[in-house]
Amino acid sequence: MPEPFSLYVHVPYCRHVCPYCDFNVHAAARPPEEHYTAGLVAELTACGAQEPWGGRRVKTVYLGGGTPSLFSPASIGGIVTAVTRWFGLVDGAEITLEANPGTLSHASLAGYRRAGVNRLSLGAQSFHPRHLQTLGRDHGPDDVRAAVDAAGAVGFENLSLDLIFGVPAETLADWEADLAQA
């Protein structure tokens, strides 16, 4: 059996571009979700039978960005379905969605779970409002807490939080407080 591989799917859209971000992202109040998802599915379809991927299953799918959580659970589900159809998933495959805490609701998280997402990576960055403002983030500490609670309530058992150390004017006590809250 050919060696399974990991797949990164880039969703390059954000509501705005944070000043520290150096990823390939584009600000869009309304990203072209339907068009972009159709393009991804077409690319997955084209690659599914091609070397070196043909016949190899996927062990991890990472939907990163950008802000993939700007896309609906139906679109994320369409991408996961295409991966499953054209490559197949190994048993226990990890399917991760990067998310901005301010874009999530109980309903959207439940939809992502139904779509096959089993790991959530939250871009918390900090629990301090002044540091979030410095970073240009459009969510607050309460959004992070609400997202973590909702994720647990809908069955996410694998959850990570991104935190940034070294924000201008951040103290060691600030960082320790962020770690304690995480």
CB contact at 8 A, 89 and 83: yes
- The strand pairing partners of 14, in sequence order, are 27
Which structure tokens are listed for 165? Answer: 């150390």
Distance (Å, whole) CA 139 – CA 103: 9
pLDDT tens readout for residues 7-39: 999 999 999 998 898 899 999 989 999 999 999
Number of separate domains in the chain: 1
CATH number of domain containing 76: 3.20.20.70
Q: Indicate the length of the chain as a whole number.
A: 182
pLDDT tens readout for residues 155-164: 999 999 999 9
> By residue range, what is the domain housing residue 120?
5-181
Residue with tokens 């969703």: 11
Q: Could you give the percent of the chain with pLDDT greater than 90? A: 90
Contacts of 21 (CB under 8 A, 6+ apart): 14
